[in-house]
Chain A
């Protein structure tokens, strides 16, 4: 059963140095607060997994938490580059960053294989591209029925997956809706999982298109209102588009980033 706990305790218990960690959320429901708690607890040597490493991964990479990134698109959506990510890849600052690069279709299928308990997934992907030359986790396989050559990618099974959702009940059943991205697959593929939620309620009110993660499929739930900011939670908050533009001015230089880390992350203890 999912344990209901604080964000601080959840990260302390579930995220260890050297772990493979996935924070998912496709523009919507990105678990920013959890990412910053990982920075605050100074985790190191993480293999970070995420289809779209955006601001929250720029922060984790710039803070030196990551040794490797598995991803398919790294940018500040609607704004431009991730400068901390770029600095790590181009200049190895603050630490060298190994990358394992896929396409969205490849990453999505890797999570599906992970959630399905299968060793790999097949897709009609990557053909003609230079990605397989640089990424060991893209191979080809021949269909035993038709003889067609297809791409094979190994399952992703993170040590811990972290997502943000709208609601949970007191038992730890999680409810989310709107753009649900690849979050369900990321949780089901992981050995451990943490879901931060906008609120914990006595009873979940059904919502059209909802996804339910039953309490027995989740390790921990933490109530973190606004935990997706500057991303958003449909029904609770709107995306803070100005913040994404503002991040460009913070992330661009090492100094401004370091100041931001000190002021907005390290000096802000979250409630126990």
Chain B
């Protein structure tokens, strides 16, 4: 459901900076269903990849073989990401807080001796800063959805509305968070993440129980329509193709 909901958030012609895993599944699903002209950009240096199966890694040969252009990594970041040429950045998170700040660096308050050492920043800080919008895909639990992240790897909305502007960050930041339970969006007044949509079969209580802060629920809460036959077929084909 998570990858279907994430795929639906993308629309044709958008230029999407894609990470491996769920973002890549969602972007490829969108390209095979309603958004055939989606432009997929991978940080390994491929512009406009059109893979016929899901890539196993960020540098899977199929991404280069099916791309409009293959470029160097400095070029990806300097020429394509930094000036704002990418519409949507698709990020995952180990921790996400109520203002959409993302941590993929360390768990625990002490950076020098962390409870858990995570992979680190990769391309994410600048993706979060420079893409026009950021979509976050993450499984929801009290461990991942926290009041405040232990480390800001990628800046979301800081401690509220206006913090991005103060820092001069060009993009709008996280505008959509898609989880296995539902969808959250920042409140237009406060920038706090608010539950706006739940997936079929999920209750608001379930979502609250999986959130580490006092979650606000939008008055006009909607339910994610179930996956269509076409979406399920495309997803199965993608996952089966080798």
Contacts and interface: CB of A to CB of B under 8 A. Distances in A.
A127 B73 contact: no
Interface residues of A, number: 52
A260 interface: no
B228 interface: no
Nearest to B153: A129
Nearest to A28: B59
A128 B167 contact: yes
Nearest to A115: B74
A257 interface: no
B116 to A, nearest CB: 8
A18 interface: no
B81 A105 contact: yes
B172 to A, nearest CB: 14
Interface stretch (A38-46, A163-171, A177-185, A198-206): A177-185
Interface SS majority for chain A: loop
B45 A109 contact: no
A266 interface: no
Interface in B112-161: 113-114, 116-126, 129-130, 151-155, 158
A262 B184 CA distance: 50
A181 B122 contact: no
Nearest to A238: B61
B64 A234 contact: yes
Contacts of B168: 127, 148-149
B73 A104 contact: yes
A101 B126 contact: no
B129 A239 contact: no
Nearest to B55: A78
B167 to A, nearest CB: 5
Q: Chain B interface residue count: which class?
A: 35 or more
Interface in A87-116: 89-90, 101-105, 108-109, 111-112
A103, A184, A232: most-surrounded residue (chain B CB, <10 A): A103
B125 A129 contact: yes
Nearest to B150: A130
B126 A105 contact: yes
Given A111-B74, A239-B56, A131 B153 contact: yes
A235 to B, nearest CB: 9
B57 to A, nearest CB: 5
23 contacts: A28-B44, A52-B122, A72-B122, A73-B119, A73-B122, A77-B57, A78-B20, A101-B120, A103-B122, A104-B121, A104-B122, A104-B123, A104-B126, A105-B77, A105-B82, A125-B126, A128-B152, A130-B105, A149-B168, A181-B44, A185-B74, A232-B61, A239-B60
Interface of B: 20-21, 43-46, 56-61, 63-64, 70, 72-74, 76-78, 81-82, 105, 111, 113-114, 116-126, 129-130, 151-155, 158, 163-164, 167-170
Interface of A: 26-28, 51-52, 71-75, 77-78, 81, 85-86, 89-90, 101-105, 108-109, 111-112, 123-131, 134, 148-149, 178-182, 184-185, 209, 232, 234, 238-239, 241, 244
